[in-house]
């Protein structure tokens, strides 16, 4: 495969990954909470975000590998550091955020009624942290691709 073909594959993988991140945040998650009861919507959304974290790990590794193979390491170390940071962020989500939030959800279901408000507050804080990390991942992925493919604002 020549350089041009590999670059097109890289671009397609980046676009599909980035589109899936934004689609989940903008359409899928809000739709779930609009049309399903809150507990079920939370379970489905949590599982989808978990799968998307795995997809981010796989995609990040692939994009780092192919950009290195294409010689982009010498061209832009900052871009590869950014993608590496997005990879680390996805691993943090997989190893800490998702298991913790899942345990909290289960604990709320099993908790005595007087403990539920305290647990909901803790879950809300964890959800806020998760939302910030996800937003960083979405914006970081967009910035990576726009820089990688030399997309510049119009003058």
* Whether pLDDT at 138 is above 90: yes
> Residue 46's closest CA among 105, 107, 133, 111?
105
Round to whole Å and give the CA distance between 24 and 40: 16
The structure's pTM equals 0.86
Side-chain-facing half-sphere of 9: CA atoms under 13 Å:
15
Inside any domain, residue 155:
no
| Region label for 150, one of left (φ > 0), alpha (ψ between -120 and 50) or beta (otherwise) | left
Q: Is residue 53 a part of any domain in this protein? A: yes
Expressed as residue numbers, the domain containing 125 is 3-148
Q: Is residue 83 part of a domain?
A: yes
**Which whole number is the average pLDDT over 136-141?**
96
Secondary structure percentages of the chain, helix, strand, coil, to 5: 90, 0, 10
pLDDT confidence tier of residue 71, bands split at 50, 70 and 90: low
**Residue 125: inside a domain:** yes
Could you give the angle at the alpha carbon of 105 between the alpha carbons of 103 and 110, nearest 5°? 90
The DSSP H or E segment spanning 77 is helix 77-92
Q: What is the pLDDT of residues 92-115, one digit of tens each?
A: 999 999 999 999 988 888 888 888
Kindly indicate the confidence band of residue 155, based on its pLDDT and cuts at 50, 70 and 90.
low
Residue 153: inside a domain, yes or no? no
Answer yes or no: is 68 within a domain: yes
Cα separation, 56 vs 7, whole angstroms: 19
**Model confidence pLDDT, tens digit, residues 15-41:** 999 999 999 999 999 999 999 999 899
Q: Are 25 and 55 in contact (CB under 8 A)?
A: no
Q: Would residue 60 count as lying in a domain?
A: yes
Report how many domains make up the chain. Answer: 1
Are the C-beta atoms of residues 80 and 61 closer than 8 Å to each other? no
Residue 46: inside a domain: yes
């Amino acid at each position: 495969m020549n350089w041009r073909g590999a670059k097109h594959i890289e671009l397609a993988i980046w676009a599909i990954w980035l589109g899936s991140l934004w689609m989940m945040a903008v359409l899928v998650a809000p739709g779930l909470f609009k049309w399903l009861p809150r507990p079920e919507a939370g379970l489905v959304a949590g599982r989808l975000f978990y799968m998307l974290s795995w997809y981010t790990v796989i995609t990040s590794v692939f994009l780092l590998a192919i950009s290195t193979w294409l010689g982009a390491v010498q061209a832009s170390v900052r871009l590869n550091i950014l993608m590496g940071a997005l990879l680390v962020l996805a691993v943090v989500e997989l190893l800490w955020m998702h298991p913790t939030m899942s345990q909290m959800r289960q604990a709320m279901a099993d908790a005595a009624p007087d403990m539920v408000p305290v647990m909901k507050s803790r879950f809300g804080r964890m959800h806020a942290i998760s939302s910030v990390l996800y937003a960083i991942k979405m914006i970081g992925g967009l910035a990576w691709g726009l820089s990688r493919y030399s997309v510049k604002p119009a003058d």
